[in-house]
Amino acid sequence: MSRRTALVLLDPAAEVRPAALELITLGRSLGRVDVVTLEAPSVEALAQLGAHGVEVVHQAELVGAAGAPGSRHLATVVAAVLAAAVRRTDADVVLVPAGFAAKEAAAVAAHALGAGLVVDASHVAWADEGLVVTKRVFAGTWETASVVTTDPAVVTVRANAVVAEAAAEPSHPEVEALPVEPEAPAVTVVRRETAERAAGRPTLEEAAVVVAGGRGTGGDFGPVNDLADALGAAVGASRDAVFEGWHDRYIGQTGVTVAPRLYVGAGISGAPHHRGGMQAAQVIVAVNSDPEAPIFEISDFAVVGDLADVLPQAAAAIRAHKAAAAEA
């Protein structure tokens, strides 16, 4: 059988996010890897793509009304780009990162291509039956495997599903223009602003370590930020804490889904809605003053105590450990 092709959506392309390298690594286990972008990749990005074995970069050139600033982020426009890239490359599998916007674009592209779709995958592999996609459902309590019966298959993959690795043989990716003329978007983007990312902190959805604060912080995220800084972690929150205005982004079924190596929840009770967004974490640590807190049921390690005491002490101990390790 001829070699299969995996097409990875790379957006943004100026800077390659860790999640993109994970998708490319996963793509290499499925076949040759091409990426599709909506903007020119930077020189650094191209070098990274080469180190990770990408063969061709298909850079969309939007023709017509869809090229207007802001419009290129619309699901219908990204979907048209994905579909055009699939048609050109004859890709067998399309890998798209997790996130609400990318998920919609993947779905609309699958609709246009008549392709099957699985969202939020944790693993993807070829088997005798075809492309088998594994995912966790019901707040991480069940695992399902399904086979996509179409070629191509469209799959969105959650962050941290695989560990990004450079290719054994680096490549020299060619950039090829991909003219796309989507239908004029029916939706007008009146305004679009992207949030400033906290300097020095990884993004919440991609972080390997996440520290989250809830109502139990009483509005003071100082101890949460302190521990996050010591660990180099992203900071998240429960929905209640965000609704109180104490933090900007929350973890959970209707918020951000995280699947880090380590999740630390402080002053968070562990409601099912919250669990839905973090239960796939490899290690779960909780700090809660209530010995009966439901989050303890899904924790590997827990401290019954006041987070205002426990977190700063932990942060100090971790800093001391790191300093000692650096000296040794």
Ligand X SMILES: Cc1cc2nc3c(=O)[nH]c(=O)nc-3n(C[C@H](O)[C@H](O)[C@H](O)COP(=O)(O)OP(=O)(O)OC[C@H]3O[C@@H](n4cnc5c(N)ncnc54)[C@H](O)[C@@H]3O)c2cc1C
Peptide bond into 272 cis (omega under 30): no
Give, as ranges, the residues between 184 and 203 that touch ligand X (CB under 6 A). Answer: none
Q: Does 267 bind ligand X (CB under 6 A)?
A: yes
Give, as ranges, the residues between 65 and 84 that touch another protein (CB under 8 A). Answer: 73, 75-76, 79
Gap between the Cα atoms of 243 and 254, Å rounded: 13
Taking CB under 6 A as the criterion, the residue among 174, 176, 290, 297 binding ligand X is 290
Minimal distance in Å, beta carbon 234 to ligand X?
15
Taking CB under 8 A as the criterion, the residue among 64, 219, 222, 272 binding another protein is 272
Minimal distance in Å, beta carbon 262 to ligand X?
18
Gap between the Cα atoms of 10 and 50, Å rounded: 14
Q: Does 199 bind another protein (CB under 8 A)?
A: no
Minimal distance in Å, beta carbon 296 to ligand X?
10
Partner interacting with residue 267 (select from another protein, ligand X, none; CB below 5-8 Å by kind): ligand X
Q: Does 314 bind ligand X (CB under 6 A)?
A: no
The torsion region of residue 282 among left (phi > 0), alpha (psi -120 to 50) and beta comes to alpha
Contacts of 201 (CB under 8 A, 6+ apart): 207, 228, 232, 233, 234, 235
Q: Does 254 bind another protein (CB under 8 A)?
A: yes
Q: Which long-range contacts (CB under 8 A, 24 or more apart) does 236-239 make?
A: 236/204, 236/210, 236/211, 236/212, 237/212, 237/213, 238/212, 238/213, 238/214, 238/268, 238/269, 238/271, 238/274, 239/273, 239/274
Give, as ranges, the residues between 114 and 173 that touch another protein (CB under 8 A). Answer: 114-120, 129, 132-133, 136-150, 153
Give, as ranges, the residues between 220 and 249 that touch ligand X (CB under 6 A). Answer: 238-241
Residues that bind ligand X (CB under 6 A): 214-216, 238-241, 250-255, 267-269, 271, 273-274, 277, 287-290, 293, 306-308
